[in-house]
Structure 1
Amino acid sequence: MVTRRTIRSLALAGVLAALAGVAYALRWRQNPSPCPYSQRVWIDLPRPLISRSRLCEVLEPRPGERILELGAGTGYYTGTVAAAVRPAGMVHAVDVQRPMVADLRARLRERGDDNVAPVHGDGRALPYPDDSFDAAYLVLVLGEIPDEERALAELERVLKPGGRLVVGESLPDPHFVTRETLRERAEQQGFRFETDVGTRGSYFARMSVPPSTNGN
């Protein structure tokens, strides 16, 4: 028999758990960091509002292109983009966590994907020379980087003139970046905003590096 005391105790436990969850989310938001490898199950869940197909619609990857993925994790989007740039294109999948890079490398080996290069690297200091890529993308990643402006500056640096950048964001990610904030910060780093699709709480936005004016 369930007593009133039991019901009150369960209700209190639920409230305390909810408050603990809110506190954890606030602490995580105030201290940007990537999803730990031990919690990778969450980044493998379906993402219907920021799907693989919608990413490709906005990014428009083309055969033969060299594309950078920042914060690849376990490769939720990687294989789809890699397939779009075959046969001669390449995706460089960068992640700051070595276990994520190792996990992705193992998955790629199992699938036989040979046009993806898993790379350990920090978005604030990308290990590539200027003008290295035709396009780049990062999904649910920008807000996890402690210095978003520096990461956007690095992406602008490694993209070729005219290169495309797609950023995906979705709630309830505690590091969610609004479209308005993204546009302001990206334009400060030299990007030109082009378009966005989705809702205020779940979207892809595309920007580009202005074409070179020096005739090169």
Structure 2
Amino acid sequence: MGARHTSRVVASLLGLAVLAGIGYALRWRSNPTPCPYSQRVWIDLPRPGITRTRVRTLLEPRPGERILELGPGTGYYTGAIAQSVEPNGTVHAVDVQQAMVDHLRTRMRKRGRRTVQPIRGDGRRLPYPDDSFDAAYLVLVLGEIPEQGRALAELERVLEPGGRLVVGESLPDPHFVGFGTLRRRAERHGLEFEDRVGTRGSYYARFAVAPSPPT
């Protein structure tokens, strides 16, 4: 009886933990917020479906280019992209949390990535003039922004005509944005779909700003 009772208690506790986890994920999804700095350990874990190599391949960063990274966190992707634009390019890494910005600045300095410029900013109000960047990317970030359409419109604004945008999404991120939803929202704000790699639940999608009409 003792063993059976213990098993039932353990099973009940596990069931409650699962329900609590689901409830937390649903609340987080309905209230978009970035991963807090105190939980940064999770954003440095390996990401098999949305790797550094894949984002670099699809983004095609080139030496001398100006690249925008929105929501870099602690810099999981930043160093790889920064290396691709050296020696004269720059990666402007914009994060809404000052603690992430400070962490990224220290991390990039230790790695000798002088092309990275971390800055605090909001994806809905980017602190740059029109046509500032050759390309931009964000991974597991769009769903954390309360006004996704506004963020996409801002990205289109700061990209030069013909500029490239890569968006990465993957389950089980509670803020996961499906490809169909992403494409509709992006195209609504002047971004043209170009390519996609990955699976339905873990993918990168590439868009471009329409080029300027010939004069």
Q: CA deviation at 1:103?
A: 0.4
CA–CA distance in 2 between the matches of 1:203 and 1:194?
Answer: 14
Residue 158 of structure 1 corresponds to which residue in structure 2? 158
Residue 44 of structure 2 corresponds to which residue in structure 1? 44
CA–CA distance in 1 between the matches of 2:152 and 2:123?
Answer: 8
Q: Are 1:204 and 2:185 an aligned pair?
A: no
The Cα offsets for residues 13-37 of structure 1, whole Å up to 9 and x where unpaired, read as 0000000000000000000000000
SS in 2 for 1:32: coil
Q: CA deviation at 1:214?
A: 5.3
Cα RMSD after superposing both structures: 0.9
SS in 2 for 1:50: coil
What is the identity percentage for the equivalent residue pairs of Structure 1 and Structure 2?
70
Residue 87 of structure 1 corresponds to which residue in structure 2? 87
Q: Are 1:16 and 2:20 an aligned pair?
A: no
CA–CA distance in 2 between the matches of 1:29 and 1:50?
Answer: 20
**Structure 2 counterpart of 1:101, one-letter code:** V
Q: CA deviation at 1:110?
A: 1.1
Gaps of 5+ in 2: none
TM-score, normalised relative to structure 2 = 0.99
Residue 174 of structure 1 corresponds to which residue in structure 2? 174
Q: CA deviation at 1:190?
A: 0.3
CA–CA distance in 2 between the matches of 1:78 and 1:177?
Answer: 22
Q: Are 1:74 and 2:113 an aligned pair?
A: no
The Cα offsets for residues 59-90 of structure 1, whole Å up to 9 and x where unpaired, read as 00011100000001000000000000111110
Regions of 4+ moved over 2 Å: none
Q: CA deviation at 1:146?
A: 0.2
TM-score, normalised relative to structure 1 = 0.98
The Cα offsets for residues 78-131 of structure 1, whole Å up to 9 and x where unpaired, read as 000000011111000000000000000111111111000001000000000000
Q: Are 1:54 and 2:54 an aligned pair?
A: yes
**Structure 1 counterpart of 2:44, one-letter code:** D
CA–CA distance in 1 between the matches of 2:108 and 2:133?
Answer: 21
Residue 133 of structure 1 corresponds to which residue in structure 2? 133
CA–CA distance in 2 between the matches of 1:130 and 1:78?
Answer: 23
Alignment coverage as a number of residue pairs = 215
CA–CA distance in 2 between the matches of 1:109 and 1:148?
Answer: 31
Q: CA deviation at 1:39?
A: 0.3
SS in 1 for 2:49: helix
Q: Are 1:33 and 2:33 an aligned pair?
A: yes
Bigger mean CA deviation after superposition, 107-116 or 121-130: 107-116
